[in-house]
Amino acid sequence: MAHLKQEFLHIFTNVYVILVVFGGLLLYAVLYPQPYLNKLPLQQSVVVVDHDHTPASRRLIRYADATPQVQITDQVDSVSQARELLLDGQVRGMLVIPRYFERDLALSRSPVVGLAGDANFFLIYSTIIEGLATVVMTTGAVARVGELLVAGVPLKFAVKDWSPMHLNERPLFNVGMGYLGYVIPAVFVLILQQTLLLASGLVGTESKTKSGFSLASAGVLLGSRFLAMFIVYFLFSQFYMGVCFEYYQISRNAGVLDLYLMITAFLAASVALGMLLGLLLPGSEWAPPVVMVSSLPMAFTAGFIWPIELLPEPVFWISHWFPSTHAIQGFLKLNQMGAEFSQVLNHWWSLWALAVFFFAMSLFVLTRPDTVPKTVVSEM
Amino acid sequence: MQTGRFSQALKSEISAVREDRWMFAFVYWLPPLLSLFLLLILVAGQPTNLPIGVVDLDNSGLSRKATRYFDASPTMNVTRHYSSITEGKADISDATIYALVVIPSNFSRDVLRGGGPAITAFYNAQYLLIAKAMRAALIQIEATLAIEIDVGRTLVFKPVMQAAIATALPVRTQISPLYNLNMNYAVFLVPALLMALFQLLVICMTIMSLAKMVKTYETSHRKYQFGQLAGRFFFYTCVFSVHVLFSFFVLYGLLGWPVQGSLSGLLPLVFVFVIACQVLGAFIHVATFNLELSLSAASAFCGPAFAFFGVTFPASDMSHVAQIIRNLMPASHYLDAFYNHVSYDAGIYYSLKPGLIILAFAALTPLVIYRLKTRLRGAG
């Protein structure tokens, strides 16, 4: 009990932990979602090159301007002028209507409308193309229905039969396909883990020696350190997955018990890794660079950005040593995708395996014979 | 002599880094290793062969043909067949499959009768980037399938291929993904990831080195000298510039990624970028002269840098707070210039503005020197 109190004191008397880690946790909750608060990039500016200048082409432009995805901001006479605007960053995409568009449409010669966007920025690109392609398709459908009506097909059938089949595409889980609902539930798990590692790194290097402990005293030390950090972060995860998710309107489908089971396993693995990190670092000043440098690799191998099926074998293997990989997948499946707990058992067991492994490694480091010179922490 | 101090400081920094195992790792071999890891994650370039499932309630020649179309798309592979939607939905929830295509019963009959039946495709929109690729592929498959069926139907009474195609497709579109022709995600994500990494490394290593310098000066009561500071900084400017240039060489030389402009135009920009990061790091450190605090603050600032670059989510759609943070990072300006060069061949003019903005970070130098001077007054 005295040990536990000691460890709590370690955490709460460490200025850096209080200021940077806990302060950072609160700050990140506000700061990190900032880029994505608008959720969807709509009303992207598009330039029109109209070579036709007919009622049909003007109708197409009006339709395009009316879609939520794009906004017609400029109209120029040549593609090269449109390219200039694109390079300047004034517009993000272009719509090119060919000459004789109206005539070809009436003669059923299927005119070709050009759509273009900067494909480097995939989110803008897909938004623009999606909006413009829908408009062009609608124009085509209107023309087709008109043709069918002329041929004597009743309106009721013409509207249905302009295409022989349709595709009903239904996005699941993040229904609006917004960016906030995509990034927050995954990245917040990573932020919890990384600040935890940072806190453990800053606290854990404080013990004067890192080897030569008896197994019993090492067990007591690590056990109480584990418990203290676990309790603190258990509370923080309530804040992140409760208050913050509620505020950002992130769906929470998981049952309470399932969620707590997953949080327990996730924190156990992360706290154990943090302890090991604290014991291995030469000084607490190394905790921030080590932890932060690992953030991007961890985020990109966790499966929510890039399909895990496409990761090369060695990368896939390494990613399984990060608690975040299993935790993010587990939490997303439970909380966002409505999976049963039995479907995330593999992630749950992996987290426990990591917890046991990292804890055992920490014990090993603390109890190994005192052959190496004692590493004394710099008194900065 | 200034030059004497400069080269003396340079030499002592080189040997100091060689002796410190952790510094050595972070300065020499971790940067290329981490870059390689980040590159390997995205090496596939495009989401391909994503597993999907099919529920074929029709079981006709046409429905099997439709299934083959889905399987033939480069984006997806039909890996599972289900007899009911419920079975398939469980597999979407635990991400065994990314999409579930449901072909309704009587699909074939309704196509022939002209009722315009609909195939339903549920897809996992939680993984946004994957979902976008999936959706684009689904729409393409729909169009291909619909046109093929339609042309077949029309040929019966309009036995001219050209006319039949025109009936099926009143308006055609030509979609041009500008500047990134094969929609390779790695081509624009990897440079941004690398710059986030390098920005973090340069700032952290600058703080480490500066803190060490201040500490030794204080214990030996030495006075601040500009030559000493410049010598130390110059070492890191060179090493990290080489790291950045080496990554250029790997991406655009060895891997042969497309470059529209000239890379040589970027050379001065790389140096300016590294120096800007160094000045920023020094500025953060001299604010408090506390190693842990400044490293933690720098890491907290640089950790989420990638999200603020505007590569995945358009900068123009970010909130004002996010745009301010974005502008405070040298790497986001560097990337503006970088993409102008590499993707657009925009000419030197377009990299001048971001170059000047990065250079503006040097304006912090007098402040840094002032703080160092007042701190290190020498003996007495």
Contact A167 B142 (CB under 8 A): yes
**Structure confidence at residue A377 (pLDDT):** 39
Residue B106, pLDDT > 70, answer: yes
**Residue B2: what pLDDT?**
54
Beta strands B99-103 and B172-178: pairing type? unpaired
**For residue A303, which residues of chain B lie inside 8 Å, CB to CB?**
95, 127
User: Among partner residues B125, B163, B173, which is closest to A115 by beta-carbon distance?
Assistant: B173
Task: List CB contacts (< 8 A) between B215 and chain A.
Answer: 380
- B31 forms beta bridges with none
pLDDT at residue B309 is higher than 90: no
* Domains assigned to chain B: 2-43+184-375 (no CATH), 50-168 (3.40.1710.10)
Question: What residues form DSSP beta bridges with B82?
Answer: B55
pLDDT of B15: 84
Interface touch B38/A300, C-beta < 8 Å: yes
**Same domain for A348 and A243:** yes
- Rounded CA-CA distance A341/B90 in Å is 12
pLDDT the model gives residue A318? 92
Q: Is residue A378 part of a domain?
A: no
The residue out of A131, A161, A191 marking a domain boundary is A161
- The residue with tokens 């007919």 is A54
- Using the predicted structure, report yes or no on whether residue A102 has a pLDDT greater than 90: no
Please determine, for residue A200, whether its predicted confidence score (pLDDT) is greater than 70: yes
The minimal CB distance from A112 to the residues B93, B174, B211 is found for: B174
* A286, part of any domain: yes
- Predicted local distance difference test score (pLDDT) of residue B350: 67
Rg over CA atoms, chain B? 29
Return the closest-CA partner of residue A300 out of A289, A316, A313.
A316
What is the mean predicted confidence (pLDDT) over A223-228?
Answer: 82
Looking at residue A106, its pLDDT comes to 80
The tens digit of pLDDT for each residue in B72-101 reads 888 898 999 998 888 888 888 888 899 999
Q: From the list A170, A307, A311, which residue is nearest B122 (CB)?
A: A170
Count the neighbouring beta carbons within 10 Å of the beta carbon of residue B91. Answer: 20
Mention every residue, 6+ apart, whose C-beta is less than 8 A from residue B161. Answer: B151, B155
Q: Show which of A99, A129, A161 is a domain's final residue.
A: A161
Q: Which structure tokens are listed for B161?
A: 């291929």
Residue B180 is predicted with a pLDDT of 67
On whether residue A374 sits in a domain, the answer given is no
Residue B181 pLDDT:
64
Regarding predicted confidence, which is higher, A184 or B115? A184
Asked which of A161, A193, A219 is the last residue of a domain, the reply is A161
Q: What is the pLDDT of residue A379?
A: 35
Judge: B50–A307 Cβ closer than 8 Å, yes or no.
yes
pLDDT band, very low/low/confident/very high, at A209 (cuts 50, 70, 90):
low
Q: What is the pLDDT of residue A212?
A: 64
Helix %, strand %, coil % for chain A, to 5?
65, 10, 25
Judged by a CB distance cut-off of 8 A, whether residue B180 touches chain A is yes
Which DSSP string corresponds to B48-74?
-SEEEEEEESS-SHHHHHHHHHHHHST
Percent of chain B residues past pLDDT 90, beyond the cut: 14
Return the minimum-mean-pLDDT range out of A110-114, A209-213, B310-314, B362-366.
A209-213
pLDDT of residue A322: 93
Q: Does residue A30 sit in the same domain as residue A68?
A: no
Regarding whether A149 and A183 lie in a shared domain, the answer is: no
Chain A residue at shortest CA distance from B137 = A169
Mutate to test the interface with A, among B19, B27, B41, B89 (most CBs of A within 10 A): B41
Distance from CA of A23 to the nearest CA of B (A): 10
Judgement on whether residues A129 and A268 belong to the same structural domain of the protein: no
pLDDT tens for A231-272 read 888 888 888 888 777 788 788 877 888 889 999 999 999 999
The pLDDT of residue A179: 80
pLDDT at site A374: 44
In whole angstroms, give the CA distance from residue A254 to residue A169. 25
B126 CB near a chain A CB, below 8 Å? Answer: yes
H-assigned helices in B114-156? 128-155
Q: How far is CA B229 from the centre of its chain?
A: 33
Count: domains in chain A: 2
**Residue B39: band (very low, low, confident or very high) from pLDDT cuts 50, 70, 90:** very high
Please report whether residue A17 resides in a domain. yes
Of A299-303, B86-90, B240-244, B353-357, give the lowest mean pLDDT range: B353-357
- pLDDT at B347 exceeding the cut of 70: no
Q: What is the pLDDT of residue B349?
A: 67
B167–chain A Cβ distance below 8 A for any pair = yes
* One domain, residues A151 and A287: no
Which residues of chain B neighbour A120 with C-beta distances below 8 Å? 179-180, 187-188, 339, 343
Q: Which of A105, A172, A183 sits opposite B92 (nearest CB)?
A: A172
CB contacts of B43 in chain A (<8 Å) are 312
- Which value does ipTM take for this structure? 0.86
Same domain, A270 and A326: yes
What residues have CB less than 8 Å from A301, skipping those under 6 apart? A308, A311, A315, A316, A318, A319, A322, A325, B41
Residues 297-356 of B with CB under 8 A from A: 297-300, 302-304, 306-308, 310-314, 317-319, 321-322, 325-326, 339, 343-344, 346, 350
Same domain, A74 and A9: no
* Record: contact A310-B47, CB cut-off 8 A: yes
Contact flag B185-A122 (C-beta cutoff 8 Å) = yes
Between CA A63 and CA B12 the distance in angstroms is 68
Q: Can you give the pLDDT at residue B296?
A: 86
Find the domain containing A19 and state its range: 2-36+178-367
* Contact residues, chain A, for B67 at CB < 8 Å: none
How much helix, strand and coil, in percent to the nearest 5, is found in chain B? 70, 10, 20
pLDDT of residue B229: 83
pLDDT at B356 over 50: yes
Query: Is residue A166 in a domain?
Result: no
Total residue length of chain B: 380
Chain A residues whose beta carbon lies within 8 Å of the beta carbon of residue B306: 296
Q: Is the Cβ pair B117, A311 closer than 8 Å?
A: no
How many Å apart are CA B192 and CA B190, to the nearest integer? 5
For residue A307, what are the contacts with CB-CB under 8 A and spacing of at least 6?
B47, B50, B98, B127, B130
CA distances B264 to B195, B267, B274, B333, B347, Å, are 18, 5, 16, 18, 12
Q: How confident is the model at residue B173 (pLDDT cuts 50, 70, 90)?
A: confident
Same domain, A305 and A236: yes
A13 CA: distance to closest CA in chain B (Å): 15
Q: How far is A305 from chain B (nearest CA, A)?
A: 6
Determine, yes or no, domain membership for A170.
Answer: no
User: Domain check: are A104 and A153 in the same one?
Assistant: yes
Across the interface, which of B114, B178, B299 has its CB nearest the CB of A157?
B114
pLDDT at res. A120: 73
Share of chain A above pLDDT 90, in %: 15
User: Could you please report the per-residue DSSP string of B19-45?
Assistant: H-HHHHIIIIIHHHHHHHHHHHHTTT-
Residues A216 and A349 in one domain: yes
- Look at residue A7 and tell me whether its pLDDT is greater than 50: yes
Q: Do A343 and B93 touch (CB under 8 A)?
A: yes
Give the pLDDT band of residue A210 (cuts 50, 70, 90): low
Q: A-chain residues within 8 Å CB-CB of B137?
A: none
A41 or A130: which leads in pLDDT:
A130
B181 touches chain A (CB under 8 A): yes
Chain A interface disruption, residue of B106, B142, B194, B299, most A CBs within 10 A:
B299
**Are A167 and B177 in contact (CB < 8 Å)?**
no
Q: Is residue A293 part of a domain?
A: yes
Q: How confident is the model at residue B378 (pLDDT cuts 50, 70, 90)?
A: low
Three-state secondary-structure class, residue A52:
coil
At A372 the pLDDT is 46
pLDDT at A371 over 50: no
Q: Do A35 and B293 touch (CB under 8 A)?
A: no
pLDDT of residue B31: 92
Q: Residue A370: its pLDDT value, please?
A: 59
- In order of A35, A70, A175, A183, B251, the CA distances from A64 in angstroms are 27, 7, 24, 30, 38
Tell me the CATH number at A57. Answer: 3.40.1710.10
Structure tokens at B288: 């408090």
The minimum CA-CA distance between A364 and chain B, rounded to whole Å, is 22
pLDDT of residue B182: 66
CA closest to B346 among chain A residues:
A87
> What mean pLDDT is reported for chain B?
83
Distance between CA atoms of B186 and B166, rounded to whole angstroms?
Answer: 38
A14 and A50 share a domain?
no
Considering only CB atoms, B313 lies closest to which of A27, A35, A143, namely: A35
A235 lies in the same domain as A325: yes
Q: Is the CB of residue B176 less than 8 Å away from at least one CB of chain A?
A: yes
pLDDT digits (tens, 9 = 90+) for A108-161: 777 888 888 877 777 788 888 888 888 888 887 787 778 778 877 777 777 766
pTM recorded for the entire structure:
0.86
Which of B325, B322, B326, B353 lies closest to B337 in space, CA to CA? Answer: B353
User: A289 and B200 in contact (C-beta within 8 Å)?
Assistant: yes
- Amino acid B154: pLDDT: 75
Q: Is residue A91 part of a domain?
A: yes
- Give the pLDDT score at A373: 44
Contacts with A34 from chain B: Cβ below 8 Å: 318-319, 321-322, 325
Query: How many residue pairs from chains A and B have C-beta atoms closer than 8 A?
Result: 344
